[in-house]
Structure 1
């Protein structure tokens, strides 16, 4: 009995402990829940307090804005009141003037009143007419500018010019690699003779079947190219052959000028040009202006001028002809004093060109007044051709002028027969007359020229001066 009672008591105690533990756990959970709810309520209260503070700030800002707006309204009302007061005063003044005018008219007879009314209406009509004229003139100018832009854009879109600014190198294809050796010659004597005679560098690179002819002077490059073509075609290359080929290239220069001029005249669709002028035009293929080939520029300008003349109803043939000849004076600027426009106009007049063509040539740089719409068209077409992208490079003419000045500086010395600036001005070759300067004199001359270049010609780096003196003696063996 006692043992059973103890077991029952033990079970009751364990059960009571479990219930107490469960109640404690439930109490902890309730406490955690209450703490979470308290934190949530506290966070919500803080957010609500922040929203209230933000709203108070917004209301304060709105209140300030409302006050500023109210002040602005007050100021505006004050301005309106002042304007109204001024307008009322002006109205009273006008009424008084009107009453006075009526009183004055009452004292006038009908003729005087009519005359005064006519004067007032005339002045008012004149003012209205002046305003209308200014408006019409402004609109006319705007329409004319828009029409001019359309005409120029149309002319430029129709013109397709393949050439751009020229460089100082001409590529020459060779039939084989073996030809390079012939051009160079034994110990380089052929290439030295060629370069000394033509004034053009031959650049020989490995791995390519061809050579480059380098010179700042377009005419020298062409003569050298024709000379090399003759030598390569013949296959026998030696100093004497070089001289013969060079002399032949010089002798046929006029024929090449004429052919180039005829091609240009045909391309520009101009007829009846005298042969002397055609040959002079052909010479301009060897001239450049800021890197742009002058003859190509003339043909292009002629084509653009014809398109513009067609658009505006001008004389197309006159514009085409004057544009083709407008820079012909550039063939004489290195020989005669004067601008190319003046020299070209004189040359055209001497060869019987019409007065309007002569005027267009002389006036395309505003040196004289333009006497026709075609002269204006020539000037516009000239500017369009010169300003198109890729047509010109400002540094090319400066480079050519620098090389020319260097050659002129060295060519002043007695006994000098030829001067050639090569390698972009890094080398100057001076050929002297063997009858005037001996071997010792060549050494002294080279030193003197180098010192003068250093003193007078401001260039960075070094310039090599090479003085060449060649003496030949020819005799004939055989029967007299």
Structure 2
């Protein structure tokens, strides 16, 4: 037991000595490693410090270079400013010297004028004195006062001036008439010669051609339901009669007739003809026609070189293709009038683009279906004002039928060109009954005046020749009669273009040789 304790004690001592020895070795190894790590960290810190110092030096040098460059640029600008200021200073000095010289010259001129005015004043006083002496001498010689002489002289001069003025006015009027007629005829003839357009005739009836009469039964449908649907959808009367290979579409609106024609064409090609398909096709064709109307309006404005029109005005221009006036296609008429206006405005040294714009829009009031109680010229003027057209354009539209007063030269140009386009041969057509009635009305109106023997309406009603009795009307009254007939025709008869009234008075001497 004792030996065991001793053994354990010796073992514990050795164990303690071994632990201490191990601790000492480990501690020495850690110190060596710590010193190595410290040295490495110190080296890394020094190298990082050196790198940072180098970077700071580089940044400093670049900043220094930038600052020096900016300073140099500012110095250069300051030098340029200094040179500029010196130049301006020298210019200002020169101008001051010139002003000083001019002031000196003006002072000299002012002194000369003052002395001359003083001399003139003295001479005027002398002249007034001499004038008074002469007046007194003349009054004593004539026995009349100066006021009486002045009144008599003024009266005689006034009468002479009236006579001379009357003669001059007559000569001027005659010369102006001759020149104006000549120039007007020249401009009108040149304008007509430089414009040409095809004659387009629009009817209220469209004939739709078909390949076979068998299709008529399919168009009519069972108990007429197809044709009734077509008429209700399009607003056009469809006549299916015994006319071979043809269906007649009647209606006052050409747009509706075109929609009906396209719808029929599409339905026949498709082969499916029933009420639902008819309504769908008509709606599709209506949209197609509306798109075509807008495209026609755009193409027309591009062709004429007119820009900046409101989209609604462009659509109305396209609808002109499906409108007619006295059988003349409204779009062709408006295009022709626009070109004539541009030519005439160029001849008169006016703006041809504005004239062309007014000519194209002058009949725009015939297109809308609303406000039918207004004349088309006034309705067109309201539409142009609504869509922000210029005041001279609006006035030209509203005044081309004399419903309002003309304010610019553009208005009479549009009026004249409208008449030229409507009255040229082949432009318009009329029903023969109304045409004959108009000619008879012209002749009867002239025959209602006393002294009129015979009347003849010639040149398709463009001229009315009135033959009067030589023993009942003298030469002076013939001119008065022609003016009265012209005014009465304007007030009572509707006619396109203008009517020339020629009053003929002739004296015949008849003798017989036996």
Determine the C-alpha separation between the residues in 1 that align with 2:372 and 2:219. 38
Cα deviation code 1:66-98 (max 9, x no counterpart): xxxxxxxxxxxxxxxxxxxxxxxxxxxxxxxxx
Instruction: Give the equivalent residue in structure 2 for 1:21.
Output: none
Q: Is the 8 A contact 1:305 1:320 kept in 2?
A: yes
Instruction: Give the equivalent residue in structure 1 for 2:282.
Output: 246
Note the 1:346-361 alignment, pairs <5 A.
346-361=382-397
- 3-state DSSP of counterpart to 2:320: helix
In structure 2, the CA distance between the partners of 1:278 and 1:117, relative to structure 1 (3 Å rule), is: closer
Determine the C-alpha separation between the residues in 1 that align with 2:347 and 2:248. 45
Greater relative contact order (CA < 8 Å, ≥ 6 in sequence): 1
Q: 1:256 aligns with which of 276, 279, 292?
A: 292
Q: 1:215 aligns with which of 251, 256, 266?
A: 251
In structure 2, the CA distance between the partners of 1:231 and 1:298, relative to structure 1 (3 Å rule), is: same
Deviation at 1:305, TM superposition (A): 1.0
Instruction: Give the equivalent residue in structure 1 for 2:405.
Output: 369
Instruction: Give the equivalent residue in structure 2 for 1:452.
Output: none
Note the 1:17-416 alignment, pairs <5 A.
108=142, 120=156, 123-124=159-160, 126-174=162-210, 179-180=215-216, 182-185=218-221, 190-203=226-239, 210-335=246-371, 338-393=374-429
Determine the C-alpha separation between the residues in 2 that align with 1:118 and 1:169. 78
Q: Is the 8 A contact 1:348 1:358 kept in 2?
A: yes
Determine the C-alpha separation between the residues in 1 that align with 2:201 and 2:142. 82
In structure 2, the CA distance between the partners of 1:192 and 1:252, relative to structure 1 (3 Å rule), is: same
Determine the C-alpha separation between the residues in 2 that align with 1:140 and 1:161. 34
Determine the C-alpha separation between the residues in 1 that align with 2:366 and 2:142. 78
Deviation at 1:141, TM superposition (A): 1.4
Instruction: Give the equivalent residue in structure 2 for 1:95.
Output: none
Determine the C-alpha separation between the residues in 2 that align with 1:311 and 1:212. 48
Determine the C-alpha separation between the residues in 2 that align with 1:207 and 1:356. 53
Q: Is the 8 A contact 1:169 1:213 kept in 2?
A: yes
- 3-state DSSP of counterpart to 1:304: helix
- 3-state DSSP of counterpart to 2:261: helix
- Name the Cα RMSD after superposition: 3.6
What TM-score, normalized to structure 2?
0.50
In structure 2, the CA distance between the partners of 1:194 and 1:144, relative to structure 1 (3 Å rule), is: same
Greater displacement, 113-122 / 228-237 = 113-122
Q: Is the 8 A contact 2:377 2:401 kept in 1?
A: yes
Deviation at 1:283, TM superposition (A): 2.5
Q: Is the 8 A contact 1:267 1:299 kept in 2?
A: no
Structure 2, unaligned stretches of length 5 or more? 1-140, 435-514
Q: Is the 8 A contact 1:322 1:360 kept in 2?
A: yes
In structure 2, the CA distance between the partners of 1:118 and 1:193, relative to structure 1 (3 Å rule), is: closer
Greater displacement, 192-201 / 211-220 = 192-201
Q: Is the 8 A contact 1:332 1:340 kept in 2?
A: no
Deviation at 1:125, TM superposition (A): 5.4
Deviation at 1:280, TM superposition (A): 2.1
Determine the C-alpha separation between the residues in 1 that align with 2:306 and 2:245. 41
Q: Is the 8 A contact 2:200 2:332 kept in 1?
A: no
Q: Which of 1 and 2 has greater Rg?
A: 2
